[in-house]
């Protein structure tokens, strides 16, 4: 059985898993993390060598166990050979599960609020305590560094080689970087904690050059939380940079070369004010505090999609033991 699924019990059965996976797809659509594209997966509670994803359908329209497909972690192949068509980029999920046995849920998104940080060279950082899991710098993975010979260069993670390269990006950390694994190691096992550092990622989120982002976690609720607050952090940072530049502007300093036509020599751009980001310790401690409260927003998000007529969840749930 797989640990880290928050509501009420330390372990989760397939019925609850299916219901939670469908609900998570609806929540991520409702909050603008997924649109017609993007996906969330969860490792099987019965067999850690497999994982579940929705078939190739818009996340908002997923409604029943018939819309879910079980895949093998080893090669992202379908367990049932007559399964419905699935997502091409399931290798994102399979290679992450393969590299990090303690990870139970993965979200991949093309969220428009995050995309500017995938193309601009401006690093995405934790600007608020709710996004402490981002740390002091979010890595950016570039598919062009990992295309197999003769493959399509369409930025899609369509094979194991690309998926493995992306998964590896979750592990490196600089001396000043936020170690996501530190928080995880301190948690009890029933909340997704682990005592095996080599099985823990160092980063919770990786941006994908010109593509989107991927986040991994130890349960569905945590993965949804991180996806939603990655979007919120990106929006806050973009707004902060915009109003800062509009308010303060920039001053160019240097020596004027009169004989050279008034050009400024050795010019330096001086900007007043600065955006305040969380320190490494603030990011770590903020995430440690917020991680224990993930069940609170999950309850709200479930209710939001439950009362919205767009979303249908026909998966039966389990009675608590």
147: helix, strand or coil: coil
Contacts of 6 (CB under 8 A, 6+ apart): 191, 219, 221, 222, 294, 295, 298
Task: For residue 105, count CB atoms less than 10 angstroms from its CB and return exposed for 0-12, middle for 13-18, buried for 19 or more.
Answer: buried
Residue 269: beta bridge partners?
252
51-68 CB burial, b ≥16 within 10 A, e <16: bbbbeebebbebbebebb
> Which positions are catalytic?
89
Which of 64, 98, 256 shows the shortest CA–CA distance to 166? Answer: 98
Token pair in block for residue 279: 């320190």
Contacts of 193 (CB under 8 A, 6+ apart): 184, 185, 186, 187, 218
Distance, in Å, from the CA atom of 295 to the CA atom of 192, rounded to the nearest integer, reads 13
Evaluate whether 314 touches 306 at the Cβ level (below 8 Å): no
- Using alpha carbons, list the distances in angstroms from residue 188 to 14, 106, 185, 193, 195: 23, 21, 8, 5, 9
In this structure, the dihedral spanned by the alpha carbons of residues 131, 194, 223 and 19, taken in order and rounded to 10 degrees, is -150
Token pair in block for residue 145: 């560094």
In this structure, the dihedral spanned by the alpha carbons of residues 288, 227, 44 and 22, taken in order and rounded to 10 degrees, is 130
Contacts of 130 (CB under 8 A, 6+ apart): 229, 232, 233, 286, 290
């Amino acid at each position: 059985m797989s640990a880290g699924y928050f509501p009420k019990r330390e372990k989760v059965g397939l019925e609850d898993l299916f219901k939670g996976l469908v609900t998570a797809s609806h929540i991520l659509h409702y909050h603008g993390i997924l649109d017609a594209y993007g996906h969330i997966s969860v490792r099987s509670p019965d067999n850690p060598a497999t994982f579940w994803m929705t078939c190739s359908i818009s996340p908002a329209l997923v409604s029943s166990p018939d819309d879910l497909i079980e895949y093998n972690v080893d090669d992202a192949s379908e367990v049932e050979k007559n399964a419905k068509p699935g997502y091409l980029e399931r290798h994102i999920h399979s290679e992450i599960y393969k590299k990090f046995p303690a990870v139970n849920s993965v979200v991949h998104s093309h969220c428009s609020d995050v995309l500017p940080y995938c193309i601009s060279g401006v690093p995405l950082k934790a600007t608020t305590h709710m996004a402490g899991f981002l740390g002091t710098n979010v890595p950016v993975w570039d598919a062009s560094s990992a295309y197999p010979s003769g493959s399509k260069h369409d930025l899609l993670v369509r094979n194991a080689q690309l998926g493995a390269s992306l998964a590896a990006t979750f592990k490196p950390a600089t001396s000043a970087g936020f170690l996501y694994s530190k928080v995880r190691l301190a948690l009890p096992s029933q909340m997704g904690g682990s005592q095996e550092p080599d099985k823990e990622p160092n980063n919770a989120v990786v941006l994908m050059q010109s593509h989107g982002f991927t986040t991994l976690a130890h349960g569905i609720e945590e993965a949804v939380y991180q996806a939603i607050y990655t979007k919120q952090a990106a929006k806050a940072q973009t707004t902060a940079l915009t109003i800062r530049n509009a308010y303060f502007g920039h001053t160019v300093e240097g020596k004027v070369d009169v004989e050279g036509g008034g050009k400024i020599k050795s010019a330096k751009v001086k900007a007043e004010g600065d955006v305040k980001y969380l320190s490494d310790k603030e990011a770590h401690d903020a995430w440690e505090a917020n991680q224990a409260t993930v069940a609170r927003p999950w309850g709200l998000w479930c209710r939001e999609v439950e009362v919205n007529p767009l979303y249908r969840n026909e998966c039966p749930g389990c009675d608590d033991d």
